[in-house]
Chain A
Amino acid sequence: MSRSEAKSSRDAIGQNESLYALPDDRGHFGQFGGKFVAETLMTALAELESEYRRLKEDKSFTAELARDLADYVGRASPLYFAERLSRETGGAAIYLKREDLNHTGAHKINNCIGQALLAKYMGKPRIIAETGAGQHGVAAATVAARFGLECRVYMGSEDIRRQSLNVYRMKLLGAEVVPVTSGSKTLKDALNEAMRDWVTHVDRTHYIIGSVAGPHPYPMLVRDFQSVIGEETRQQFQDMHGGLPDALVACVGGGSNAMGMFYPFLGERSVRLIGVEAAGRGLDSGEHAAPLGRGRVGVLHGNRTYVMGDEDGQIIPTHSISAGLDYPGVGPEHAYLKDLGRAEYVAVDDAQALAAFRRLNLLEGILPALESAHALAYGMQLAAEMERTQTLVINLSGRGDKDIAIIAEIDGISID
């Protein structure tokens, strides 16, 4: 698909009611989702929702979004037939959706561009964001620079230590990076702190949540902004191969890249949708980040979903080699799709993700993010079990430059 076609196909955002029209008016996906926040934020959430519902039908808004996605982000991102990887895997033909080639190196920018435009149209001069690995923080800082908005990024002090490169990158972009030292000092605590900032400065601030999580309307609007991934994939696959792929595979932390890929295909029952969570050191080790696989229904960060909680209802620490998947909750629409049986959720551990990371480097010359390597690992395993005539699309949600130091450390190599 050419860029001009990508533009013309997006004169409206997030339209797919082929399987269900959710969330409902109260922001629920069945029993999941909702608005579980302090009263101070309820009015801001209602405003955000009504502004979003208005703007997504507004021609000048959607045209500006399409223009930025094409000329600034560099969309459409290619759908790439990984011929050598497919041959070596020995099964289904593997296609990679190259979100790693977007500006700033991941799918996160799709949502940030959309939300920064929302902030601009709502007249909010300041944005805040939370970040784990730093990819969403970098994308938020980037769009803040692009639109001339003040930007503050909350990041756990533990993650700051692990991801110093991205921290510096955000500072170069003019953002203020605030270390969060409470709780486990990671992504979930950064989210808590961002909510506290929002509660305090709600009149002039828009909070750009980085995933399909948080209170309604965030899971809906982030999904809608990310669904450009699935829309393009559908068209590109049709053009390159014809028909529909047999399966889609994407990694799931909060789940925004997966939701964006799955959403335009929900009504196509022949297409298997597979989300891959982080099994960390193994699902039975207790040290993982797989709330869909091993969590329980709970309420965290503004919505009801599957969470990693103990028998007292406390949120428990998670582990994944990939900071972007290291989160104890998951988007409520994934929880709904799991219970509905429309999407399948599996888990891949640190070692399997690392092996896939190395394999894609060697076989295709592509350096994937460790998050995306989880999708790759499962995608390769699944492809091997499928027929050669079948097809599989793996969402390569980001590039792995940010992870080189982690890999080098594992290999015992100092690159400082």
Chain B
Amino acid sequence: MKTHSLSQTFSTLARQDKKALLVYIVAGDPTPSLTVPLMHRLVAAGADAIELGLPFSDPEAEGPVIQLAHERALAHKTSLRDCLQMTASFRQDDPVTPVILMGYLNPIETLGYVAFGEQGAEAGVSGTIIVNLPPEEAGDLGQILEAHGIDNICLLAPTTGDERAKYICRASRGFVYYVSLTGTTGAATLDIDAVAAQLARFRTLSDLPMLVGFGIKDATSARAVSQVADGVIVGSAIVSLMAEHAADPALLIDRVVDFVSRLRNAIDR
């Protein structure tokens, strides 16, 4: 078992009776040189794993906040190879915190599935979330990632029926990502009762940890969701803070660290 595996992280959290906090940033936003230092600070502030967004020219499932982050990262030509290098560089100082690459299929397809599996394992990637790759289409890549010890995490949506959810849970590795609302990232606020009801339905289908993303904006919503899920994923709220302070990296890090610490406290309270 790798030291930076998701299952290790989740079993540690379970022993401590804690819920997971995953934090999403886009690699290269606002500048590539800031990404790795920021990752370390996010971990110090309480993130249990980092979701590193892979910049893409056509991020069709993202709301405006994350779309703009992709554009800022692409203005610096941040490529998939750069993201793998950032992960490798992060690993030199942090051998345990999982790094999950989250993005769209085309850059991975262009690099090649085998090359991606090999280079990802070598860089210390723990998992992948490929937004536009449902399990039906994930066969080849899924096998290659599995062979390299990288967990390909699948998504569930409010529109997913029971039969399909069963299939997705079987295909998913590491955890299951429940997209808590029909919409793009950063959209409307959550209905906690609805999330709880959906998770109760999905929990009968799988023993994997169930994490919730989309619509978690602050400490209050993070706490509420963490009480019904195994963990929360926060993206747009952080990316939005980063956009606000893009011109001042020191202030950006302070603000993001402060925000993540508050999320951590709210979840652990």
Across-interface contacts of A297 in B (CB, < 8 A): 109
Across-interface contacts of B104 in A (CB, < 8 A): 299
Across-interface contacts of B244 in A (CB, < 8 A): none
Q: Which of B64, B80, B132, B164 meets A312, CB within 8 Å?
A: B80
Residue pair A43, B71 in contact (C-beta under 8 Å): no
Question: CA–CA, A183 to B108, complex, Å?
Answer: 20
Contact string, A10-49, partner B, CB cutoff 8 A, digits 1/0?
0000000000000000100000001111111111100000
Question: CA–CA, A197 to B133, complex, Å?
Answer: 19
Q: Provided the pairs A312-B107, A313-B106, A313-B110 are in contact, do residues A195 and B182 lie with their beta carbons within 8 angstroms?
A: no
A184 and chain B: residue at smallest CB distance? B57
B78 and chain A: residue at smallest CB distance? A312
Q: Which of B68, B80, B157 meets A38, CB within 8 Å?
A: B157
Q: Taking each of A182, A301, A307, which has the highest tally of chain B beta carbons within 10 Å of its own beta carbon?
A: A182
Residue pair B110, A44 in contact (C-beta under 8 Å): no
B159 and chain A: residue at smallest CB distance? A43
Residue pair A38, B67 in contact (C-beta under 8 Å): no
Q: Which of B58, B80, B156 meets A188, CB within 8 Å?
A: B58
Say yes or no for A387: interface residue by CB 8 A criterion: no
Residue pair B110, A182 in contact (C-beta under 8 Å): no
Chain B interface size band reads 35 or more
Say yes or no for B179: interface residue by CB 8 A criterion: yes
Residue pair A182, B109 in contact (C-beta under 8 Å): no
Say yes or no for B137: interface residue by CB 8 A criterion: yes
Say yes or no for A271: interface residue by CB 8 A criterion: no
Residue pair A202, B182 in contact (C-beta under 8 Å): yes
> Among residues 325 to 371 in chain A, which have CB atoms less than 8 Å away from a CB atom of chain B?
none
Residue pair A315, B71 in contact (C-beta under 8 Å): no
User: What are the nearest 6 A-B pairs in CB distance?
Assistant: A313-B107, A313-B110, A40-B157, A312-B79, A200-B183, A314-B57
Chain A residues within 8 Å of B, Cβ to Cβ: 26, 34-44, 182-183, 188-189, 191-192, 195-196, 199-203, 296-302, 304, 307, 309, 311-316
Contact string, B92-134, partner A, CB cutoff 8 A, digits 1/0?
0000000000001111111100000000000000000001111
Chain B residues within 8 Å of A, Cβ to Cβ: 56-64, 67-68, 71, 74, 77, 79-81, 104-111, 131-134, 136-137, 154-161, 164, 168, 179, 182-184, 187
Question: CA–CA, A203 to B62, complex, Å?
Answer: 19
Q: Which of B64, B105, B156, B160 meets A36, CB within 8 Å?
A: B105
Across-interface contacts of B61 in A (CB, < 8 A): 38, 195-196, 199
Residue pair B184, A196 in contact (C-beta under 8 Å): yes
Query: How many A-B residue pairs lie within 8 Å, measured between CB atoms?
Result: 125
Residue pair A199, B164 in contact (C-beta under 8 Å): no
Residue pair B160, A39 in contact (C-beta under 8 Å): yes
Q: Which of A199, A202, A314 meets B74, CB within 8 Å?
A: A314
Residue pair A200, B187 in contact (C-beta under 8 Å): yes
Min C-beta distance of B165 to chain A, whole Å: 10
Min C-beta distance of A298 to chain B, whole Å: 5
Q: Taking each of B63, B74, B137, which has the highest tally of chain A beta carbons within 10 Å of its own beta carbon?
A: B137
Across-interface contacts of A202 in B (CB, < 8 A): 159, 182
Q: Taking each of A182, A196, A201, A311, which has the highest tally of chain B beta carbons within 10 Å of its own beta carbon?
A: A196
